[in-house]
Structure 1
Amino acid sequence: MAYLLRVGGSIAIVAAIVAQLQHTIRNEMSGKGEVSFVVQNFFSFFTIEANVLAAAALFVGIFTLSSRGAEARGLTMFRAAATTYMATTGIVYNLLLRGVELPQGTTVGWSNEILHVVAPVIMVLDWLIAPGKRPLNSKTLWGIVTFPILWAGYTLVRGALVLDPRTGDPWYPYPFLNPHTSPNGYWSVAFYVVLIGVLIGVVGAGILRLTRVKRRA
């Protein structure tokens, strides 16, 4: 079961990313032609970055299933981070962003569902059933939350400094991170950043807890 999840999941995620990227590029080429800009934007979405990490974790994990011992500690940490990001992506998307057209062009329906729903479920299931996880202590949580913090800082700085050449407006990957359109500007943005940060911390703590529960079992 774990083998099928990892093979099928990694293929599905890569196919979904490629399909959406190709559609985004074609859409831009038929419009303003700012292809390099929209490609940079595409890989600035936390969803895309989280799915790239998830596909890598699943793919590498395929080759560790044949081993009867525990996997390398670094791989368990990487899988824990990827699973946390994907679970958070699924929660945030379905609570805040479902039905909202994001600024990467028209979304590819099946790709969108894989990246935001199917892939998060696969990652959580893989974490629950796949053997070989190393027990991780709570200090690992700091490593897990570091990437989202850096991403949020990058997003806000880039949004303030880089203007969309097609519109002349600042570009942000998600509406709730745009201080120019949020009801209370940066206060609204700060609220959502803190809220999502807390969510990532809670999800990450739960993911880490499962490695110790599994060990005792």
Structure 2
Amino acid sequence: MLASEVWPVRLLRLLFGGLAVLAVGAQFGREVVLPGFSPVNFFSYFTILSNSAAGLFLIGLALAPGRNRARLAEWLRGAMTVYLATTGIVYAVLLDTGELGLTLPWVNAVLHRVIPIVLFVDWLAVCPQCRVDYGKALAWIGVPMLYLVYSLTRGVVVDWYPYPFLQPVEVGGPAGVLLHILGIAVGIAAVSLLVAWAGNVRVRASQMRAAA
């Protein structure tokens, strides 16, 4: 069983965390020189926010692995796993049309595929130090829901939405937006319970080995 303190884990977390931050930075550099660029719009994409947070979090764990023993840090690690899974799944189900627009191909692959997989593998490979209560796991849904509220509210004010499924004209009106939000909420709740269950299974197995 891998531990946060061993150097291969720290090195991989540092490399992939740096890759996530580099990908976000490269995409920012590509767009910042374009006419009409809005940094607020750029950082209003859940993909950008989740990958930025996950990248910095992985770097933090790599540089200070002892923090991973804290209950809060483990809860946050589970949250990051859920948020990146959300990024990958929503992209695959609702957004992957083959048209990348301004997004660099390698950045698209890193942000929507590589980092989500890395976070999930990290959660499975590096055993959590403690169980996550399923009630607390469901609290992970709070951040994506707040993000959706922010996106819809700002969209009404500035007439700009980060994703097509949040635009009433693209999905058949407010009812279509609500249907997509409900579907996403159910999906995130299911992923949250799955991530918590997978972590708790690993914790239980570790405790049984220790007792034996």
Q: Pick the TM interval, shorter chain.
A: 0.7 to 0.9
Aligned residue pairs total 198
Alpha carbons 2:21, 2:56 under 8 Å: kept: no
1:128-154 deviation digits (Å, cap 9, x = unpaired):
111443211012124311111111101
Amino acid at match of 2:137: L
Q: Which residue of 2 aligns with 1:130?
A: 126
What is the DSSP-based 3-state SS (H/G/I as helix, E as strand, rest coil) of the residue aligned with 2:170?
coil
**Comparing both structures, which one devotes a greater share of its residues to helix?**
2
Once the two structures are TM-superposed, the CA of residue 64 in structure 1 deviates from its matched residue by 4.7
Alpha carbons 1:101, 1:107 under 8 Å: kept: no
2:14 pairs with one of 7, 10, 16 = 7
Structure 2 distance, partners of 1:110, 1:132, is: 31
Percent of residue pairs bearing the same amino acid type: 35
When residues 16 and 70 of structure 1 are mapped into structure 2, their CA distance, relative to the original with a 3 A threshold, is closer
What is the DSSP-based 3-state SS (H/G/I as helix, E as strand, rest coil) of the residue aligned with 2:69?
coil
When residues 160 and 100 of structure 1 are mapped into structure 2, their CA distance, relative to the original with a 3 A threshold, is farther
Q: Which residue of 1 aligns with 2:150?
A: 154
Amino acid at match of 2:44: S
Q: Which residue of 2 aligns with 1:40?
A: 40
Once the two structures are TM-superposed, the CA of residue 127 in structure 1 deviates from its matched residue by 0.6
When residues 171 and 100 of structure 1 are mapped into structure 2, their CA distance, relative to the original with a 3 A threshold, is farther
When residues 176 and 100 of structure 1 are mapped into structure 2, their CA distance, relative to the original with a 3 A threshold, is farther
Once the two structures are TM-superposed, the CA of residue 100 in structure 1 deviates from its matched residue by 5.7
Once the two structures are TM-superposed, the CA of residue 76 in structure 1 deviates from its matched residue by 0.7
1:193 paired to 2:181: yes
Structure 1 distance, partners of 2:138, 2:191, is: 13
Alpha carbons 1:138, 1:208 under 8 Å: kept: yes
Structure 1 distance, partners of 2:113, 2:68, is: 29
Structure 2 distance, partners of 1:101, 1:21, is: 19
Alpha carbons 1:172, 1:178 under 8 Å: kept: yes
Give 5+ residue unaligned stretches, structure 1.
163-169
TM-score, normalising length: structure 1: 0.85
Q: Which residue of 1 aligns with 2:93?
A: 95
Structure 1: 4+ residue segments shifted above 6 A: none
Alpha carbons 2:14, 2:62 under 8 Å: kept: yes
Once the two structures are TM-superposed, the CA of residue 59 in structure 1 deviates from its matched residue by 1.3
Amino acid at match of 2:165: F
TM-score, normalising length: structure 2: 0.87
1:77 paired to 2:71: no
Structure 2 distance, partners of 1:189, 1:148, is: 15
Q: Which residue of 2 aligns with 1:21?
A: 28
1:116 paired to 2:112: yes
What pairs with 1:175-194 in structure 2 (closer than 5 Å)?
175-182=164-171, 184-194=172-182
Range with bigger deviation, 145-154 or 126-135:
126-135
